[in-house]
Structure 1
Amino acid sequence: MANGSRQAAWEFFGAELKRRREDAGFTQVELGVRVFVSGGYVGQFEQAIRKPQLDVAQRIDEVLQTDGFFERTWRKLIDDKRYADYFAAVVELERTATRICEFAPTLVPGVLQTGGYARAVTLANNPFATDEYVEETVTARLERSRILADATRPEYWVVLHENVLRIPVGRPEAMAMQLEHVAEAGRQRKVLVQVLAYRQGAHTAMSGMLQLMDFEDAPPTAYTETSFSGTLVDDPAVVKRAQRAYDLLRAVALSPEASLALIDSAAEDFRRCASTT
């Protein structure tokens, strides 16, 4: 679904929510209390500024007695079987974010992955996958990178743990190409890259991947992920704590210039390794 038609569909979702809420005699605040969000959030859903999470859509159906209409519509609009269920909503939000800040403890973030690297990650996680599944997954990963090619691309900040530079993913040549791709994105000022070097030791925010997203007309969100699940959070207090943790990471990470030099050095090491195999 193209971005324009997707937005139009969300506007329909919001218009239906407003109509059915008013038919049921609820104000935005009253409905918000019943589905555990603020009245302001309900207003943003109705204006298609913010997309509800699945559990909120399900509670709206329960309160308004709409026989699963909003859950079915949500699934049609936001579910993409190329992504894990817990991640589909994040992909949707990336398209409208004005700023994305990410911490990657072990792998290059999906938005910055090359085809060769994405293919190696997919096969490592799914050694018995069909070729069709692998290609669909890689294509979906590369589509996410388009947000950095748009004229209205978000500010994209990323802190990579040095693990990301050192742990081989795929063949050495693919790893070298991936690191060179990250460095080039930094030099083209599409992304601001910092590396959390080994010498900085342990850090309180290193327990897992963290992504923060800001929006023009909606509150910020935080997304965290472990090996088999992910959590999208928009509770202001939790998001504020996540933002503070990310600020601490940036404070101890290498400067952008030193980070690019370290990435270049790691890429060169993999190039040398590729030439001897």
Structure 2
Amino acid sequence: MIGTSRQAIWEFFGTELERRREDAGLTQVELGALVFISGAYIGQFEQAIRKPQLDIAQRIDKALGTDGIFERLCRKLINDRRYADYFVEVVELERLATRICEFAPTAIPGLLQTPDYARAVTLAANPFVTDEYVQDIVTARVERAHILKDATRPEYWVILHENVLRIPVGGDEVMARQLDHIAGLMKERVGWVTVLPYAAAAHASMSGMLQLMDFEDAPPVAYTETSFSGTLMDDPAVVKRTQRAYDLLRVAALSPEASLALIESMAEDYRRCASAT
């Protein structure tokens, strides 16, 4: 399968899963019961709408007696060098989540980034890489954001620190388009975005990106990230603490209406600065 696109391999995964399941004389519901997920999820795997986690692929192999084929396919697909090792599983979990909540203290979250913003962030962190490498990273960011356009898209809640709006990543023109993009998604009700202002004082001092994910058939998880590392957490007590921290940030943030007004105002300021240069 060298040179085959990731989506084509996921489609092969789904087709092969359907064939092996039918050969075993099982319905989607029956196979789902054997691997501890719903029959609807099996159907979505078969249609390549959703992608299974590695442990689910392993349970499918065991249930169908398929000698590890689904585990091997899954490992091939999650071993994506466009993402840091600590982030690969997060990308797969995003595709399964029913709700994603993020706090972004220093940069626009990847799911909201425009290609130009993603390119500027990548170059700032990797000034000596090739154009091909940069384009791979940008393409990966754009592909991740497709989950917000899917029919099964998750609820998406984002809190942006005011810093994020005021740091001119990529220059004034790039920032104007980036903020226009966020405002457009807010108006289309694709995401619920609010801004944590400097006036929030102690709340605004929280450092480190935070992401919370809920699932239909699995317990919630939390993910935190700094510049060079990330930690995925599923311990119920820890997840509960991060959820409380996020709730405190949410009540300190501006209202959606005030947040949209600020984002649009900042976009206009950047546009005016860009036209003046």
What number of residue pairs does the alignment pair up? Answer: 244
Distance 2:214 2:226 in 1: 22
SS of equivalent to 1:95: helix
Letter in 2 for 1:98: T
1:2 aligned onto 2:7? yes
Distance 2:149 2:71 in 1: 32
Alpha-carbon displacement from aligned partner over 1:7-45 (angstroms, at most 9, x marks no partner): 649979xx9xxxxxxxxxxxxxxxxxxxxxxxxxx856x
SS of equivalent to 2:98: strand
CA separation of 1:199/1:99 partners in 2, compared to 1, >3 Å: closer, same or farther?
Answer: same
SS of equivalent to 1:223: strand
Superposed displacement of residue 69, structure 1: 9.6
Which residue matches 1:51?
53
Which residue matches 2:226?
226
Asked if 1 retains the 8 angstrom alpha-carbon contact of 2:13 and 2:73, the reply is: no
Superposed displacement of residue 75, structure 1: 3.2
TM alignment of 1:1-277, pairs within 5 A: 1-2=6-7, 5=11, 8=14, 43=36, 51=53, 75-203=75-203, 206-277=206-277
Superposed displacement of residue 72, structure 1: 6.0
Asked if 2 retains the 8 angstrom alpha-carbon contact of 1:205 and 1:246, the reply is: no
Asked if 1 retains the 8 angstrom alpha-carbon contact of 2:222 and 2:234, the reply is: yes
Letter in 1 for 2:146: R
CA separation of 1:276/1:205 partners in 2, compared to 1, >3 Å: closer, same or farther?
Answer: closer
Unaligned runs of 5+ in 1: 16-41, 58-67
Which residue matches 1:31?
none
SS of equivalent to 1:133: helix
Asked if 2 retains the 8 angstrom alpha-carbon contact of 1:205 and 1:249, the reply is: no
Asked if 2 retains the 8 angstrom alpha-carbon contact of 1:183 and 1:263, the reply is: yes
Q: TM-score, normalised by structure 1?
A: 0.78
Distance 1:204 1:219 in 2: 29
Superposed displacement of residue 5, structure 1: 3.3
Superposed displacement of residue 269, structure 1: 1.1
Asked if 1 retains the 8 angstrom alpha-carbon contact of 2:198 and 2:204, the reply is: no
Distance 1:195 1:245 in 2: 16
Identity over aligned pairs, percent = 68
SS of equivalent to 1:203: helix
Superposed displacement of residue 94, structure 1: 0.7
Distance 1:7 1:155 in 2: 27
Alpha-carbon displacement from aligned partner over 1:90-131 (angstroms, at most 9, x marks no partner): 111111111000000011100010011001001001111100
Asked if 2 retains the 8 angstrom alpha-carbon contact of 1:6 and 1:77, the reply is: no
CA separation of 1:240/1:129 partners in 2, compared to 1, >3 Å: closer, same or farther?
Answer: same
Letter in 2 for 1:87: F
Distance 1:121 1:222 in 2: 24
Distance 2:201 2:13 in 1: 44
Distance 2:16 2:79 in 1: 13
CA separation of 1:6/1:208 partners in 2, compared to 1, >3 Å: closer, same or farther?
Answer: farther
RMSD value, Cα? 3.3
Letter in 2 for 1:159: I
Superposed displacement of residue 272, structure 1: 1.0
